[in-house]
Structure 1
Amino acid sequence: MSPRNTSPRPPEGAVAPVRHPEAPAPGELLGPHYDECFGCGGGQEHGLHLAARAGEGVTVTAEFTVRKAHQGAPGLAHGGVLATALDETLGSLNWLLRTIAVTGRLETDYLLPVPVDTVLHLDAQVTGVVGRKIYSTATGRIGGPDGPVAVRADALFIEVKVDHFIEHGRPEEIQAAMADPDQLRRVRAFEVNP
């Protein structure tokens, strides 16, 4: 039996991603996929509150401000927080494919320290698709969309059905999410994926 290919880089023969016809329009704010998400939700006091926007093709841009609660070394962003920002931005790409997917692998490169109070500008794009595997890449820049690259990542996401979360999540949170009309609307938008 051969080992599974978990490289975050698309293999030869990967197909180009196709933006779903009902994907949010370029420039549209994507909003949180779940209010309690540490990356994009508003319900986490010390979360990233990352705001992502649809781009052209299968791309997104995002921003988040590194706050004091996000530091690792004195005055600098924690590396795990930066990886979370990249992961959240990469995960936002799935809105454009109209699919539900989870992170299978994330390879992160740290190039520059990111100070507290810095706005990190992120951009991400899907680079290929093979079956349920979605390959993507992202960069995070300091000071603006053309600033120096501080972090970058390549990722492999795996398409799943909503049952994945129902089977593995805690019942209390699943029930609360499913009682939220906005959350239910978001889930239903992904149920029919041609």
Structure 2
Amino acid sequence: MTPTTPPANARLPRRHPEAPPPGTELGPHYPMCFACGDEQPNGLHLRVFAAEGVAVRAEFEVGAAHQGAPGLIHGGLLNLAFDEVMGSVHWLLRVPAVTGRLETDFLKPVPVGRTVHLSAWCEGIHGRKLFHRAEGHLDTPDGPLVARASALFVEVQLAHFTKHGRADEVQAVLDNPDDHKMLRAFEVNP
């Protein structure tokens, strides 16, 4: 068993009754987030949607600003996308959590100008630990598998974000959820 594999006695996740219905775009959780923020000029501008069960799907286009090697995405940005999409699963659980460990297998190169389709889901919960999986496909949701990831997230109190982040900005987001779809603050990963 690896640190990102749920133990045999983990409980199955249950979608929160107030989670948005499948197909709902979750929107950016913070406008300056490099993964999903709409005010981040060179960010991924990841679009995340609720899926069936305790799962989400997302997509982003690989731009010139995302290159590592000429013409190919930087692997760290693919890690970033996985972290964001797996963190977005917490919106369906309504559990604030942070990334404890993230493991990624890079299977094929991802060229600039192509779209990466991601899917992520929760496999199990054990105490404060949440275990997630994700896959990335090229061009279509069922296109070539280019990478897969697994992660361990740890449930925290919302005070974690004000204590370790910019308290005034976190509070502003919590005070104005309609401005930034900030009920997604449940999955902000500092």
Q: TM exceeds 0.5?
A: yes
- Tell me the CA shift for residue 181 of structure 1: 4.7
1:102-154 per-residue CA deviation (whole Å, 9 max, x = no partner) reads 11100000000000011000011100001111101000000201111101100
Q: Aligned in 2, Cα 1:178/1:57: closer, same or farther, shift over 3 Å?
A: closer
Q: List runs of 5+ in structure 1 lacking aligned partners.
A: none
- Pair 1:106 & 2:102 matched: yes
Q: Give matches, 1:1-194, under 5 Å.
A: 7-171=3-167, 173-174=169-170, 176-178=172-174, 180-182=176-178, 186-187=182-183
1:43-71 per-residue CA deviation (whole Å, 9 max, x = no partner) reads 11111110111111101110011100000
Q: Give the residue type in structure 1 aligned to 2:98.
A: V
TM-score by length of 1: 0.89
Q: Which has the larger radius of gyration?
A: 1
**For 1:24, what is the secondary structure of its paired residue?**
coil
Q: Using CA pairs below 8 Å that are at least 6 residues apart, which structure has the higher relative contact order?
A: 2
Alpha-carbon contact 1:103-1:157 (below 8 Å) kept: yes
Instruction: Kindly report the root-mean-square deviation, in angstroms, between the aligned alpha carbons of the 2 structures.
Output: 2.1
1:61-101 per-residue CA deviation (whole Å, 9 max, x = no partner) reads 10011100000000000000000011111011001001111
Q: Give the residue type in structure 2 aligned to 1:76.
A: L
Following the alignment from structure 1 to structure 2, what is the Cα–Cα distance between the partners of residues 49 and 37? 9
Q: Aligned in 2, Cα 1:185/1:112: closer, same or farther, shift over 3 Å?
A: closer
TM-score by length of 2: 0.90
Alpha-carbon contact 2:105-2:149 (below 8 Å) kept: yes
**Size of the alignment, in residue pairs?**
186
Following the alignment from structure 2 to structure 1, what is the Cα–Cα distance between the partners of residues 71 and 184? 42
Q: Aligned in 2, Cα 1:110/1:131: closer, same or farther, shift over 3 Å?
A: same
Q: Aligned in 2, Cα 1:175/1:7: closer, same or farther, shift over 3 Å?
A: same
**For 1:93, what is the secondary structure of its paired residue?**
helix
Following the alignment from structure 1 to structure 2, what is the Cα–Cα distance between the partners of residues 159 and 122? 23
Following the alignment from structure 1 to structure 2, what is the Cα–Cα distance between the partners of residues 46 and 189? 22
Following the alignment from structure 2 to structure 1, what is the Cα–Cα distance between the partners of residues 37 and 180? 15
**For 1:62, what is the secondary structure of its paired residue?**
strand
